[in-house]
Structure 1
Amino acid sequence: MSTPVIDSLLLRCTPAVNETATALAQAALALLRDVFADLRLVRVAQQSQGIAYLYFELSSPQPLSAEYTVQAERRLQGAGIAGLVAGELSRLQLVMHRIGPAQGEATPVHYAVEMDPEAGWQDDLFAWYDQEHLPGLASVAGTAQAFRYLNLDHGPLSLACYDLVDAEVMGCPAWLAVRGTDWSARVRPHFTNTRRTMFDTQALA
């Protein structure tokens, strides 16, 4: 099997009481650059007093085996920083990126949907995501951009995420219309291990 070409990394971690997600991200970036020299921090998203998703990008896509993330994860966990002790580092392979109408606006909300396809449903689910669902949500007013990745390490496999100007975007008629199609109704019951998480984004230092 060929080594997958990787665009990004995701670090899931939970900042300690005396840590901010942004400071934790900067500490993680310094440690990760010992393994990935051309890495940059692109997004810090955190639930209130809860888990943070820290997104990093490589300067250019490159083949990357799991050995690199295992090595880097051990380095993070052994650094003596409370919020990184149980951190999970995953390779992300970009499937789709769409720019939305709100590009350039502040996006204090980051919404992530993760799932594993039920056995036998991966092709149908991924076709729906890439042909209808993600492009449709990306086109809704209030969406700045949308991404879909494959999480090759800690899973779930599919990670779709959206940068939004406000949480109310998800309740607007256009968003609900995209979610309410016949194709959506047919495939959505075949999500497994589903995580839907609303995050606040934090300014990068």
Structure 2
Amino acid sequence: MVLNDASPATVHALLLQVPFTSAESALEEARHAESTLRDAGFAQAPRLLRVAHQSPAGSYVYFVFDEAVVLDAAAVREAERRLRQGGDSLARCRLSRLQLVLHRDGPSIASHAPVHYVVEMDPEEGWREELFRWYNEEHLPGLASVEGTVRADRYLNLDHGPLSLACYDLVGEAVMGCPDWLAVRGTDWSSRVRPHFTNTKRTMFAKLK
């Protein structure tokens, strides 16, 4: 479920998805994209925040604005078109506006985070309000509080979807199997709402930057 709304929206970040790229190429593509986006005519130039890679999914590259900006879909589509002219590896890239819903620093905020875990989903019709309330009041804050979590963010993907994108920077994959993490995932509220995820994507990335 994409918003399908071309009107201007408040945006905190951009997500560049580059399919079928290699880890070796990901950082070079991210730097090229940052240069292209700097000249895209946005009210602010976005800066590179994170490069994450998983084979065969490719790369998720995040760019953030120092302050929220207002962007419409047409401006992002034009920037996407320019990025696709940057070589074969970017020919099928997708650029999306991300609206930040919630951010939490974790107890391991000072630690290196080699793992970037992403959960994307569209809420089933009629379940958006409760799913989003669960995510914001219980689930993401709970996972963010687990030892080994560096940071956690949830965004709305305003362009390519799925609509909800929650991401977690972790000190290692083992964090997801620890008792505290599993306890957050196993609440009664979680059991009630999780069956109403649709178009769900869960991806474990290696964080390159």
Q: TM-score range by the shorter chain?
A: over 0.9
Letter in 1 for 2:207: T
Q: Is the 8 A contact 2:121 2:200 kept in 1?
A: yes
Separation of aligned partners in 1, 2:126 and 2:160: 21
Q: 2:11 aligns with which of 3, 6, 15?
A: 6
Shift of 1:49: 5.4
> Please, which runs of 5 or more residues in structure 2 have no aligned partner?
none
Matches within 5 A, 1:3-42: 3-14=8-19, 16=21, 19-35=24-40, 36=42, 37-42=44-49
Matches within 5 A, 1:73-88: 73-79=80-86, 81-88=87-94
Aligned to 2:191: 185
Separation of aligned partners in 2, 1:100 and 1:107: 11
Spell out structure 1 runs of 4+ moving beyond 6 A. Answer: none
Q: SS of the counterpart of 1:162?
A: strand
Aligned length: 202
Q: 1:129 aligns with which of 123, 135, 141?
A: 135
Distance 1:71 1:43, change over 3 A: same
Q: SS of the counterpart of 2:47?
A: strand
Q: Is the 8 A contact 2:113 2:172 kept in 1?
A: yes
Separation of aligned partners in 2, 1:54 and 1:90: 11
Letter in 1 for 2:48: L
Q: Is the 8 A contact 1:15 1:82 kept in 2?
A: no
Q: 1:45 aligns with which of 41, 44, 52?
A: 52
Aligned to 2:104: 98
> Please, which runs of 5 or more residues in structure 1 have no aligned partner?
none
Letter in 2 for 1:95: V
Q: SS of the counterpart of 1:105?
A: coil
TM superposition score normalised by structure 2: 0.93
Query: How much is the aligned-residue C-alpha RMSD, in angstroms?
Result: 1.5
Letter in 2 for 1:124: E
Distance 1:197 1:18, change over 3 A: closer
Separation of aligned partners in 1, 2:191 and 2:25: 39
Distance 1:18 1:163, change over 3 A: closer
Distance 1:114 1:18, change over 3 A: closer
Shift of 1:15: 5.6
Separation of aligned partners in 1, 2:19 and 2:127: 32
Separation of aligned partners in 1, 2:142 and 2:208: 26
Distance 1:170 1:58, change over 3 A: same
Q: Is the 8 A contact 2:21 2:58 kept in 1?
A: no
Q: SS of the counterpart of 2:191?
A: helix
Q: For residues 76-133 of structure 1, what are the alpha-carbon distances to aligned partners after superposition, in whole Å with 9 as ceiling and x for unaligned?
A: 1122x12210000000000000010000110000000000000000000000000000
Separation of aligned partners in 2, 1:132 and 1:43: 26
Shift of 1:19: 4.9
Matches within 5 A, 1:60-71: 60-71=67-78
TM superposition score normalised by structure 1: 0.94
Letter in 1 for 2:167: C
2:116 counterpart of 1:110: yes
Letter in 2 for 1:178: V
2:150 counterpart of 1:147: no
Separation of aligned partners in 2, 1:48 and 1:101: 29
Aligned to 1:58: 65
